[in-house]
Amino acid sequence: MSFLDGLRRGRAAQFESGSAATNAIALTKRHPAVSLNRQGAATGNLRVNLSWRMRTSDIEGRSRQSGLLRHPFKMFKPDVVQAHTQGVVNVDLDIGCLYELTDGAKGVVQPLGSFFGNLNAPPYVKLSGDDRFGAPSGETIYVNLDHRESIKRLLVFVYIYDQTPAFDRTHAKVTLYPSNGPRIEIELDERAPQARSCAVFSLENVKGELTVRREVKFVYGFQAELDRLYGWGLQWGRGYKSKVGDR
């Protein structure tokens, strides 16, 4: 085998093993679903994390590009990193979960109304943390898959609480960390500047098979509109989040 053949084979192997090397599965429009059973991850606690950061504006991007054309050596100068403080980040993304159990019980787990759920009793879904400023840790929902026989379906969603719609100014990602196997990543990468809510993924239990399916459907209303879209049939009213000091 020649040196060039070995180099080509090495590059091919590196490319083919890229997903395994990063230990992540990205759900996309082309590959929207994954079975937790087939990953050996249908037990234990499933951790679902929401994180986000602010996008740089298209205007800044265009001005930087034109600046590089006039001053090409600027490409070697590192960008100035601006810290995200409370005054800078005014987008409050929240994560929530609609649930339906096999006994017919339905409800929601979310910060609004302080519906934080329960991990070891129905609905076996619990919200931990309410990050209002886009910190790297974000917000997390836990699902107890040891009680998967009691869970019929879940719908995890993200919404903007009491702020100007700004999904187009945030780069949000929801990451699932199963008890076993690779993490599952879903990017909210579609531009929807007027949307206030987004159905991110569904988890369905069909004859014991737990399937995670990418949704990424933006709506212009809130939870009630997501409810109608997916046929949950709950009664909705105006909700409020408790103050940070109340917890």
What CATH number did the domain enclosing 107 receive?
Answer: 2.60.60.30
- pLDDT for the residue 71: 55
For residues 136-161, give the mean pLDDT: 90
pLDDT > 80? residue 233: yes
Confidence (pTM): 0.75
Q: What is the mean pLDDT of the chain?
A: 77
The verdict on residue 240 lying in a domain is no
Q: Report yes or no on 146 lying in a domain.
A: yes
Q: What is the pLDDT of residues 1-17, one digit of tens each?
A: 544 444 344 433 332 32
Mean pLDDT of 15-40: 77
Residue 63 lies in a domain: no
| Residue 17, pLDDT score | 29
Residue 214 sits in which domain range? Answer: 23-55+88-233
CB of 7 closer than 8 Å to CB of 15: no
Q: Ranked by mean pLDDT, which of 84-93, 180-189, 232-241 comes out on top?
A: 180-189
How far apart (Å, rounded) are the C-alpha atoms in residues 110 and 99?
A: 11
Q: How confident is the model at residue 61 (pLDDT cuts 50, 70, 90)?
A: very low
Question: Does any domain span residue 62?
Answer: no
Q: 60 lies in a domain?
A: no
What integer pLDDT is reported at residue 241 of this predicted model?
Answer: 53
Given pLDDT bands bounded at 50, 70 and 90, which one contains residue 90? low
Does residue 245 lie within any of the structural domains? no
| The pLDDT of residue 217 | 96
Residue 193 pLDDT class (50, 70, 90 cuts): confident
Q: Give how many domains the chain has, as a whole number.
A: 1
Q: Are 67 and 75 in contact (CB under 8 A)?
A: no
Q: Is the pLDDT of residue 28 over 50?
A: yes
